[in-house]
Chain A
Amino acid sequence: MQDLDNILSSFEGKSGELIPVLQKIQNELGYLSEEAMLRAAEFLNIPESKVFGVASFYSQFRFTPTGRNKITVCEGTACHVKGAKGIKEEISRIKGIEDGETSSCMEYTLEGVACIGCCALAPCITINDDVHGRLDKKKVSDILKEI
């Protein structure tokens, strides 16, 4: 509650501020919580459905908290062709989380993303800021054991 008040205090409450407000909330809280969006809606006098509509339009926003480790699976064309889907399923299986979810221990977050620019290494994933490429299921499970 207190955090949100602080976050909102640097804005005027005009509807045009929606995106900067959402960005600031995400920067501070790591994601857009339901409560935060409701507060933003009230503060900016915008319907809550609209706040969600806008937030869900931009891929930069997320609605679940992130874990300490962020695992992203590239779903770009090259990786897709080389079996990104299987890689993602393997991660889901091992960590028990689906796309966009965070494990209950708050340790891992899994996310599918568009091409990350390492097509030569396809299929690839990133864990936090490190890229891991030329993966198969075996390699993935080895890497996951290390974090």
Chain B
Amino acid sequence: MHKVSLTIDGVNIKADASMTVLEAALENNIYIPNLCYHKDLNPAGTCRMCLVEVNDPNNQVIACQTTVEEGMSVITDSPRLKSVRQITLELLHVNHTQDCTHCGKNSNCQLQEVTSYVGVNEARVEQLRKSSPNIEKDTSNPFFIFDHNKCILCGICVRTCNEIQGVDALQFGYRGVNTVVSTFMDKPVIESVCESCGECVVRCPVGALLPVDEMKTSREVSTICPYCGVGCGIRLGIRGERVVNVKGDEGNPVNRGRLCVKGRFGYNWIHHKERLKEPLVKKEGKFVKATWDEALDLVAEKFSRYRGSEFAAFSSAKCTNEENYLIQKFARAVMGTNNVDHCARLCHSPSVAALAQSLGSGAMTNSIEEIADAGCIFAIGTNTTESHPVIGLKVKEARRKGAKVIVANPRRIDLCKKADIWLQYRGGTDVALLMGMCRVIVEENLTDTSFIARRCENYEAFKESLQEFTPAYVEEITGVDPALLREAARIYAGASSSSVLYAMGITQHSHGTDNVLAISNLALLTGNLGKPSSGINPLRGQNNVQGACDMGALPNVYPGYQKVSDPDVKEKFENAWKATLDESPGLTLTEIVNAAHKGDVKALYLVGENSLLSEPDGNHVLEALKKLDFFVAQDIFMSETASLADVVLPAASFAEKNGTFTNTERRVQLVRKAVNPAGDAKPDWWITSQIAKKMNHRGFDFKNASEIFVELAALTPSYKGITHERISQKGISWPVKSRVHKGTPVLHKDSFSTASGKGKFFPLKYIPPAEMPDEQYPFILTTGRSLYHYHTGTMTRRVDGLNILKERETVEINPGDASLLGLGEDDRVRVTSRRGEIEAAVKITPNSPAGMVSMSFHFSESPANLLTNPALDPVAKIPELKVCAVRVEKI
């Protein structure tokens, strides 16, 4: 960057030519009073506090809007500047409630800071002061309070909501002395489009926007958000023995301090009274408290009675890498079975299966940071702003920088508003849509021929299979206008770099693997792999679902995706673990449930999963669990599933233990213990080790998580160069080949990790979803997520504020369908599929297309997964959670 020299108050400084005078001064620790400036936002230049003199006392300019120039001479303080600032400042004080000592912002307030620097004439202020605060506080939001009487109209919140959050909930309303920051129709914040992210709250320079729980903390611990796969860095604020607030970690490259509502405000469950605090053993149908020794002895003794395929373990994408490693090691080395799986089966197993075949690695090919610089973003089957909010911010940022955004979704999701093109295709017709785009690209010679020639294989066969996907055929299946499809294909193929983001809308289908292969065809065809800001980016659901997969909590692979069927691999692990291992792949999650139902699996070790709510066909799961001989559940709360267990072991939460999570971009990040576990709860890794030790197995003697990491890194090639020490400041993306290797933000740079090193095209055919609507079940039901809740709600539903923001399940239905069924807003309906029925209230919205209804699966009183179809993808064995046929009736 080009530098210029200037003087500020006679001090020589150098600054980037693009900087403003204010930025240059602040960077050099020269204070210029300012109120409406914020480093993350475009300068507004409205408060006029940063007035300075440039080159001549008569040339007063606004420092936050003046760019530095070579030879500039800046004066930041003079009697004239002081008097101008003073008058402006006094006018702010006149309208400002003066109760500094009671204000949450005391000692941290910009108005105080500016005032102490500039000074005000108290007498003048008193004379003009408004009699009393006259605008009622807006306390509607459960997480923050808006006190307009303290607002200095700096506009930082307005700009934050626009520039950073892209929500535009706030604007200046009215005029003159009546100007306020207002929502649409000046309604309470909670009734506006506000998403409660709190980004405006953390930036408000005064006490006008304050968190409800604002308090000073005695110490802070940096760790990782426990909710979604984005893996935002957070700082837990602690007072005494309790976590009392959460801040975004500015130093974390994933989120740079940004957080969504769950990450920022959804932590009250940590000290919730319902946390499991001691081991429980079921006696005559009732749970009774037990000591750790009693419970562990019982578990060890019972587990010893089963061997091999009679046993199965469900690991957890909420637990750390270290814990997942130990759980699969326990299943394999101690119990002698590969029957270990976790909920990734229900989200991204098709990604792992498909991308392993076509590219050699089933993870995001590019980093989150790069999304902001993409030329085109193609978001298919992902409701990014709801499910991966902080990645949603990156998409919005990219768009502001000029990226084209294509959204493919049957529903009119939030991102459609920001999209250049919205392809509204029928649920489950992804293959037709994507192959149709490929055909246009080939037809119009928009392919990257040199990339295909150098780096790909099987192109001809694939090209052949495109013939079928004529625009007319694609339109018939997907319902998408051929002209729109063509335009989308041209944009995707024509951009400098195009990044595909996708999630469960692609994978949760009986042909999910094909869907992912279709995406990989599209990216290979246009050379959008192996370079920055491009790639194929499966957005992973849970905080550590990437890590749980990496750690081999999967029935067919050891850590690092090393196949259990490969004799060399088996030998490596037998030597390392000093155990005899099974070379036949184990059962998947859904298959384990079926086997339990048949009585083949007799003992189950379930860690942190609420299978009843997250599995399809919930009734079947319930029956299966009841048939088990011995069932151990390990969790932080008594979940619906855990209540069926014979023994329940209380686990420590993420805030109460050390370890690592791997986020969706493969970044391994350190999780730090902030407080002691609730009651007698213990970290999952400790519990698993104890069971193994009580069963007299060697290889489970660990003093801490870091020791476990050393063992797993030695056995997992992609983690080889990582240690806890190395990532103590900043996480690093695998593969990390050695202690000095810097990690790999972009995969497949020079070659693919397939056996041949080439990317492989796959010819595909369109196969309809397993269950289509018919006369009896005329609607398609699709399941989704809400911004305010997480997974089956075990954590978020214990946070009062999140329940206020979304308190119950709704069935979303199109206005046309609603009127045909005679439904009004909030009417109760019964939704019935071939497998079960549930009741919920109706929400009428044009966002839902005709013929489709949608629900989330966060609410145990309306468990949507009682309805969903367990029809499995033949390769990845994922059930078809996104499409099933239902009937909707008013009750």
Interface residues of A (CB under 8 A from B): 34, 37-38, 45, 47-53, 56-58, 63
Among A34, A45, A47, A58, the residue within 8 A (CB) of B171 is A47
Q: Does B182 contact A (CB under 8 A)?
A: yes
- Name B167's closest neighbour in chain A (CB-CB): A47
Q: Does B100 contact A (CB under 8 A)?
A: no
Chain B 174-218 residues near chain A, CB threshold 8 A: 174-175, 182-186, 192-193
Q: Does B888 contact A (CB under 8 A)?
A: no
Secondary structure class of chain A's binding surface, majority of residues: helix
A39 to B85, CA, bound (A): 43
User: Cβ of A57: which chain B residues have Cβ within 8 Å of it?
Assistant: 173-175
Q: Does B781 contact A (CB under 8 A)?
A: no
- Name A63's closest neighbour in chain B (CB-CB): B185
Could you name 7 residue pairs across A and B whose Cβ atoms are closer than 8 Å?
A50-B171, A51-B184, A52-B171, A52-B186, A56-B175, A57-B174, A63-B185
Asked whether, in the complex, the Cβ of B184 is within 8 Å of the Cβ of A37, the reply is yes
Asked whether, in the complex, the Cβ of B193 is within 8 Å of the Cβ of A53, the reply is no
User: Cβ of A38: which chain B residues have Cβ within 8 Å of it?
Assistant: 184
Asked whether, in the complex, the Cβ of A49 is within 8 Å of the Cβ of B182, the reply is yes
User: Cβ of B162: which chain A residues have Cβ within 8 Å of it?
Assistant: 47
- Name B417's closest neighbour in chain A (CB-CB): A45
Chain B 294-328 residues near chain A, CB threshold 8 A: none
Q: Does B169 contact A (CB under 8 A)?
A: yes
Beyond the given pairs A49-B168, A49-B184, A51-B184, 9 more chain A to chain B contacts, judged by CB atoms under 8 angstroms and listed by A's residue number, are: A45-B417, A47-B168, A49-B171, A49-B182, A49-B192, A53-B172, A56-B173, A56-B175, A58-B175
Least Cβ–Cβ distance between A87 and chain B, in angstroms: 22
A53 to B170, CA, bound (A): 9
A104 to B172, CA, bound (A): 30
Asked whether, in the complex, the Cβ of A52 is within 8 Å of the Cβ of B173, the reply is yes
Among B169, B182, B417, the residue within 8 A (CB) of A56 is B182
Asked whether, in the complex, the Cβ of A48 is within 8 Å of the Cβ of B173, the reply is no
Contact A50:B168 (CB < 8 A) given known A56-B174, A57-B174 = yes
User: Cβ of A50: which chain B residues have Cβ within 8 Å of it?
Assistant: 168, 171
User: Cβ of B185: which chain A residues have Cβ within 8 Å of it?
Assistant: 34, 37, 52, 63
User: Cβ of A34: which chain B residues have Cβ within 8 Å of it?
Assistant: 185
- Name B170's closest neighbour in chain A (CB-CB): A49
A21 to B613, CA, bound (A): 49
User: Cβ of A45: which chain B residues have Cβ within 8 Å of it?
Assistant: 417
User: Cβ of B173: which chain A residues have Cβ within 8 Å of it?
Assistant: 52-53, 56-57
- Name A47's closest neighbour in chain B (CB-CB): B168
Least Cβ–Cβ distance between A60 and chain B, in angstroms: 12
Least Cβ–Cβ distance between A54 and chain B, in angstroms: 8
Least Cβ–Cβ distance between A1 and chain B, in angstroms: 11
With a 10 A CB-CB cut-off, give which of A34, A57, A58 has the most chain B CB atoms. Answer: A57
A56 to B186, CA, bound (A): 10
Least Cβ–Cβ distance between B286 and chain A, in angstroms: 54
Asked whether, in the complex, the Cβ of A48 is within 8 Å of the Cβ of B184, the reply is yes
Least Cβ–Cβ distance between A2 and chain B, in angstroms: 15
A101 to B635, CA, bound (A): 57
Least Cβ–Cβ distance between B691 and chain A, in angstroms: 55
A63 to B169, CA, bound (A): 19
Interface residues of B (CB under 8 A from A): 162, 168-175, 182-186, 192-193, 417
A37 to B173, CA, bound (A): 14
- Name A57's closest neighbour in chain B (CB-CB): B175
Count A/B pairs, Cβ under 8 Å: 44
Least Cβ–Cβ distance between A56 and chain B, in angstroms: 5
Least Cβ–Cβ distance between B226 and chain A, in angstroms: 32
Asked whether, in the complex, the Cβ of B193 is within 8 Å of the Cβ of A48, the reply is yes
A51 to B172, CA, bound (A): 11
A105 to B113, CA, bound (A): 53
User: Cβ of B193: which chain A residues have Cβ within 8 Å of it?
Assistant: 48-49
A34 to B175, CA, bound (A): 20
A63 to B186, CA, bound (A): 11
- Name B173's closest neighbour in chain A (CB-CB): A56
User: Cβ of A63: which chain B residues have Cβ within 8 Å of it?
Assistant: 185
A45 to B168, CA, bound (A): 12
User: Cβ of A48: which chain B residues have Cβ within 8 Å of it?
Assistant: 168, 184, 193
A63 to B162, CA, bound (A): 24
A52 to B182, CA, bound (A): 9
- Name A34's closest neighbour in chain B (CB-CB): B185
A132 to B759, CA, bound (A): 85
User: Cβ of B168: which chain A residues have Cβ within 8 Å of it?
Assistant: 47-50
A45 to B416, CA, bound (A): 12
Closest 6 CB pairs of A and B: A47-B168, A53-B171, A49-B171, A48-B184, A56-B173, A52-B184
User: Cβ of A58: which chain B residues have Cβ within 8 Å of it?
Assistant: 175
User: Cβ of B169: which chain A residues have Cβ within 8 Å of it?
Assistant: 49
A51 to B193, CA, bound (A): 14
Least Cβ–Cβ distance between B53 and chain A, in angstroms: 33
A47 to B170, CA, bound (A): 9
- Name B176's closest neighbour in chain A (CB-CB): A57
A38 to B183, CA, bound (A): 13
With a 10 A CB-CB cut-off, give which of B168, B171, B172 has the most chain A CB atoms. Answer: B171
With a 10 A CB-CB cut-off, give which of B174, B175, B184 has the most chain A CB atoms. Answer: B184
Least Cβ–Cβ distance between A31 and chain B, in angstroms: 13
Least Cβ–Cβ distance between B194 and chain A, in angstroms: 10
Least Cβ–Cβ distance between A18 and chain B, in angstroms: 13
A56 to B175, CA, bound (A): 8
Least Cβ–Cβ distance between A137 and chain B, in angstroms: 26
A3 to B172, CA, bound (A): 29
A47 to B162, CA, bound (A): 9
A45 to B174, CA, bound (A): 21
User: Cβ of B192: which chain A residues have Cβ within 8 Å of it?
Assistant: 49
User: Cβ of B182: which chain A residues have Cβ within 8 Å of it?
Assistant: 49, 52-53, 56
- Name A59's closest neighbour in chain B (CB-CB): B175
Least Cβ–Cβ distance between B184 and chain A, in angstroms: 4
Least Cβ–Cβ distance between A98 and chain B, in angstroms: 15
- Name B184's closest neighbour in chain A (CB-CB): A48
A103 to B608, CA, bound (A): 59
A35 to B265, CA, bound (A): 32
- Name B162's closest neighbour in chain A (CB-CB): A47
Least Cβ–Cβ distance between B180 and chain A, in angstroms: 9
Least Cβ–Cβ distance between B181 and chain A, in angstroms: 9
User: Cβ of B174: which chain A residues have Cβ within 8 Å of it?
Assistant: 56-57
User: Cβ of B417: which chain A residues have Cβ within 8 Å of it?
Assistant: 45
Least Cβ–Cβ distance between A136 and chain B, in angstroms: 27
User: Cβ of B175: which chain A residues have Cβ within 8 Å of it?
Assistant: 56-58
- Name B175's closest neighbour in chain A (CB-CB): A57
Least Cβ–Cβ distance between B69 and chain A, in angstroms: 34
A52 to B174, CA, bound (A): 9
A107 to B169, CA, bound (A): 35
Least Cβ–Cβ distance between B66 and chain A, in angstroms: 27
Least Cβ–Cβ distance between A112 and chain B, in angstroms: 12
User: Cβ of B183: which chain A residues have Cβ within 8 Å of it?
Assistant: 49, 52
Least Cβ–Cβ distance between B648 and chain A, in angstroms: 48
Least Cβ–Cβ distance between A83 and chain B, in angstroms: 21
A23 to B168, CA, bound (A): 23
Least Cβ–Cβ distance between B199 and chain A, in angstroms: 15
A38 to B846, CA, bound (A): 14
Least Cβ–Cβ distance between A125 and chain B, in angstroms: 22
- Name A53's closest neighbour in chain B (CB-CB): B171
User: Cβ of A52: which chain B residues have Cβ within 8 Å of it?
Assistant: 171, 173, 182-186
User: Cβ of A53: which chain B residues have Cβ within 8 Å of it?
Assistant: 171-173, 182
A83 to B488, CA, bound (A): 66
A45 to B192, CA, bound (A): 17
- Name A42's closest neighbour in chain B (CB-CB): B417
Least Cβ–Cβ distance between B678 and chain A, in angstroms: 42
- Name A49's closest neighbour in chain B (CB-CB): B171
A50 to B175, CA, bound (A): 14
Least Cβ–Cβ distance between B396 and chain A, in angstroms: 13
Least Cβ–Cβ distance between A120 and chain B, in angstroms: 27
Least Cβ–Cβ distance between B400 and chain A, in angstroms: 14
A126 to B776, CA, bound (A): 65
A63 to B173, CA, bound (A): 13
- Name A48's closest neighbour in chain B (CB-CB): B184
A47 to B183, CA, bound (A): 10
